[in-house]
Structure 1
């Protein structure tokens, strides 16, 4: 094995992964039922849920790629405009959707769709989540494996399996409690790693902080806001990624989809002790994410200053700059700690993905099929042990699936992987459109909702591969296409059956009575 880093740093990295597994085993030593395994017994503090939300949405790609945005020629801080939209979206999620989820003893976000439309809508939405979530996170596992391969100098497939198996183990034993508490630890690790790297970078600059500020201002890298909205010969609102309008509006709608309807985030709200605690965690996470992105972008400016003034160098890929600096310039020991931060970001996302996928598979598919009588049994006491075992089995299944996807991605080009990740991100707008259909249209029914989801997928695929529209607008387009087509289909297509109509009338009656 030809290590790119010292044996001490490699050991720190391996010990960190083993410590995560040990934490999962210790936290999960008293798991007794499905609620404890998938929802932490619905008794976790709001600040832990806050940490988990932030860590979950931060992957290795975020940790390494966001600095590359500010490092690139012509790069700047305008990415933070998206973070403003993310914060606005979370406020809306907290006010509108969180109380809805915390009202009953549900396990997944898609049970709300069953109450409104019926079982088929719930299962279609859940299946869409499972497919896109595991596809996307399998590809993120591949990207994390590339980073580990460069660091340890060992086979890529082995690196993918190593990260995947470590994540499976602590998620399998610890369940949601292990995921959330390890997320909090990993948030501290990767934020500390980023701050440490920034301090060392500034120390390498001859003029220190003053030189960094001067370089950032003179190169235009500290530009934050871009209020342009009218198209010109050199600018188009719809194709430019980082403007105030695409950031605020697109970022807000994207967050409504991800944090409002994605099981991976909704599951965290269900772990809170109260609806108010869940709301506090959601809103505060937006503030922390803004600060996190500001740190990563400032790192990118510092990297640009360093590789311009101290060690002039060009890079083929901007997202490789930070990783290169870590391996080449940090002292022995600090390299291992900072790399542990990189993989903390990866493992936090992957563990959350496994646990939320297991929750969706058990609650939305396995339990209704194996134990149909549970529909009238909120406690699930009689089958708690069997459902707990099923949850752990599905954790392994989805973990193996993501490892297989990660290994399969090694035979694809990076551009193909990027396109696949974009497809995996379609879920947010489509599910937001379906939830909106259920909340704002009394005439919508299950067949209309299903037509809306299919149409949303088709429209977004056409937009992605047939236009140059910037990705922040995808969630808006997907949600509007899903809502509009679902509404129109509900007007012209008859409801599925008298029984289905009865279910819809009952659900509307329940909504009105509440």
Structure 2
């Protein structure tokens, strides 16, 4: 990288650390550290939701989706947008079905709702599932960023992982959730600017401009969005995207601490709903931009014919290769900063939510003696560093993945989010399902998904549908059997909405 590129990158990194330092002056208790004092405006939450959904996986793997199909023939076009359509439906379902329950009393983690409805054991089980899944998925995201830095800066994989991880840990450790959100606002602007600049340069580099892009795209079927195939083993079909995507988003945005923690920072449920629904429109535009970059990359290299075979064999490396070889001085620094921003927005959110779940769902439950707000903040900061180390370890282990990164990350999320969504549906919309029956449903959902996965005949996009319905069905059925066996109603308590 040129000196000017390093200066641009250095300004960005200093900016996010500065945000963390500025926010660190207002950390008095866990309400400040994990909820931002519940005074964050809706538009900042909107930007934070979008930035958190967008990691380096989006930045490099969504263009790769449009660039080329995988070994199963999935992708190579705009069919990824079918998943986004399902995401819009899922956001609406979260607002209608789940969001009101999160503003009855003050929650620090979404899993406290399960404690109120069932038991501490159910709460901690769901929280543990979140901790494992989130650390694995975001470790893979961290690895994806290392791929870009290796291509652009010629660092080794471990060096790239450590640099990115340490900087993210510093500002998250300093400023807590308030720093995460306001850094997300900055990072959203940076990575959209970087992606937009790269798209414009690509377009200008193609002889014939937009006419060539449209003609080549039509010749290779790049503009296909809807695939009405009924095969459950095929991903990114209309049905898998709409139904599976709706269930996936309901789970990730309605029961995952990473997202729900943002709503809990809002002043009220109305502002949280406004941020969540508004983020859907923003995400649709954003994914269209990144798929468009993939199309432009395909046309550019189809005309230039200069893509090395080892890069073409792994589409996730195509955009990083373009950035390393074609971007001019200055712009390369901006795009590298954009890659950092896309990764750090998700990683910082992950670190804070992992620390929040560990502190509130486990540490406080096992604590002996009276609460000390300042000590709790210090412990939360150490937990942030601990989870940062875990994510870097997972990233090192994932460095040799050969599958498309976006598929790996989404499959990891889908596998456990379905059963957890089933737990929340039982908790909010049933009266007599007790904690033991709910846990039986959770185990059945996880085992059932293992069996479905082992067949290799069902797309990951159906995992949340299968897992949530199986968990809810078995949990409800088990409660009916237990009620008959004991000749009385199950003692599960009353759900928070009084139903």
Q: TM-score range by the shorter chain?
A: over 0.9
Kindly indicate whether residue 44 of structure 2 is the aligned counterpart of residue 71 of structure 1: no
Greater alpha carbon shift after TM alignment, 279-288 vs 461-470: 461-470
Kindly indicate whether residue 26 of structure 2 is the aligned counterpart of residue 37 of structure 1: no
Kindly indicate whether residue 282 of structure 2 is the aligned counterpart of residue 288 of structure 1: yes
Give CA deviations for 1:306-335 in whole Å, capped at 9, x if unaligned.
Answer: 111234535111111111111111111101
- Superposed counterparts of 1:81-92, under 5 Å: 81-92=82-93
Cα distance in structure 1, aligned partners of 2:255 and 2:369? 25
Cα distance in structure 2, aligned partners of 1:339 and 1:416? 21
Cα distance in structure 1, aligned partners of 2:269 and 2:485? 35
Give CA deviations for 1:101-142 in whole Å, capped at 9, x if unaligned.
Answer: 122111110011111111111111011111111122122222
2:450 to 448, 461, 479: 461
Contact 1:357 1:395 (8 Å CA) reproduced = yes
Contact 1:423 1:461 (8 Å CA) reproduced = no
Contact 2:61 2:404 (8 Å CA) reproduced = no
1:317 to 314, 317, 320: 314
Q: Work out the number of aligned pairs and report it.
A: 489
1:259 to 217, 230, 253: 253
- Superposed counterparts of 1:423-438, under 5 Å: 423-438=412-427
Q: Which residue of 2 aligns with 1:124?
A: 125
1:240 to 234, 240, 260: 234
Contact 1:84 1:248 (8 Å CA) reproduced = yes
- Superposed counterparts of 1:224-373, under 5 Å: 224-229=225-230, 236=231, 238-313=232-307, 315-370=312-367
Greater alpha carbon shift after TM alignment, 203-212 vs 214-223: 214-223
Cα distance in structure 2, aligned partners of 1:512 and 1:481? 24
Greater alpha carbon shift after TM alignment, 15-24 vs 201-210: 15-24
SS at match of 1:242: coil
Q: Which residue of 2 aligns with 1:159?
A: 160
Cα distance in structure 1, aligned partners of 2:485 and 2:32? 37
Cα distance in structure 2, aligned partners of 1:303 and 1:193? 15
1:56 to 52, 59, 68: 52
Change (3 A) 1:69 1:416: closer
Cα distance in structure 2, aligned partners of 1:23 and 1:302? 35
Cα distance in structure 1, aligned partners of 2:293 and 2:485? 55
Cα distance in structure 2, aligned partners of 1:468 and 1:22? 49
Contact 1:44 1:272 (8 Å CA) reproduced = yes
CA RMSD of aligned residues (A): 2.4
Change (3 A) 1:196 1:162: same
- CA drift at 1:14: 4.0
- Superposed counterparts of 1:56-205, under 5 Å: 56-72=52-68, 75-205=76-206
Cα distance in structure 1, aligned partners of 2:479 and 2:175? 44
Cα distance in structure 2, aligned partners of 1:309 and 1:25? 48
- CA drift at 1:225: 2.0
- CA drift at 1:475: 0.7
Contact 1:261 1:432 (8 Å CA) reproduced = yes
- CA drift at 1:414: 3.4
2:402 to 411, 414, 434: 414
Cα distance in structure 1, aligned partners of 2:247 and 2:32? 32
Cα distance in structure 1, aligned partners of 2:447 and 2:32? 38
- CA drift at 1:195: 1.0
Contact 1:25 1:170 (8 Å CA) reproduced = yes
Cα distance in structure 2, aligned partners of 1:402 and 1:52? 21
SS at match of 2:498: helix
Give CA deviations for 1:174-225 in whole Å, capped at 9, x if unaligned.
Answer: 1001100111111111111111111111101121122222222232211222
Contact 2:161 2:392 (8 Å CA) reproduced = yes
Q: Which residue of 1 aligns with 2:72?
A: none
Cα distance in structure 1, aligned partners of 2:362 and 2:485? 21
SS at match of 1:273: coil
Q: Which residue of 2 aligns with 1:511?
A: 497
Change (3 A) 1:294 1:454: same
Contact 2:79 2:224 (8 Å CA) reproduced = yes
1:22 to 18, 21, 33: 18
Q: How does the TM-score come out when normalised to structure 2?
A: 0.92
Cα distance in structure 2, aligned partners of 1:29 and 1:393? 18
Give CA deviations for 1:390-427 in whole Å, capped at 9, x if unaligned.
Answer: 211211111112122222334x5435987687345422
Cα distance in structure 2, aligned partners of 1:260 and 1:372? 33
Contact 2:67 2:295 (8 Å CA) reproduced = yes
Q: How does the TM-score come out when normalised to structure 1?
A: 0.90
Kindly indicate whether residue 439 of structure 2 is the aligned counterpart of residue 439 of structure 1: no
Give CA deviations for 1:427-471 in whole Å, capped at 9, x if unaligned.
Answer: 211111111112233221111111122222222222223222112
Cα distance in structure 1, aligned partners of 2:252 and 2:413? 12
Cα distance in structure 1, aligned partners of 2:140 and 2:317? 17
Cα distance in structure 1, aligned partners of 2:475 and 2:241? 27
Q: Which runs of 5+ in 2 are unaligned?
A: 70-74
Greater alpha carbon shift after TM alignment, 350-359 vs 22-31: 22-31
Change (3 A) 1:501 1:265: same
Cα distance in structure 2, aligned partners of 1:495 and 1:58? 48
Q: Which runs of 5+ in 1 are unaligned?
A: 230-235, 374-381
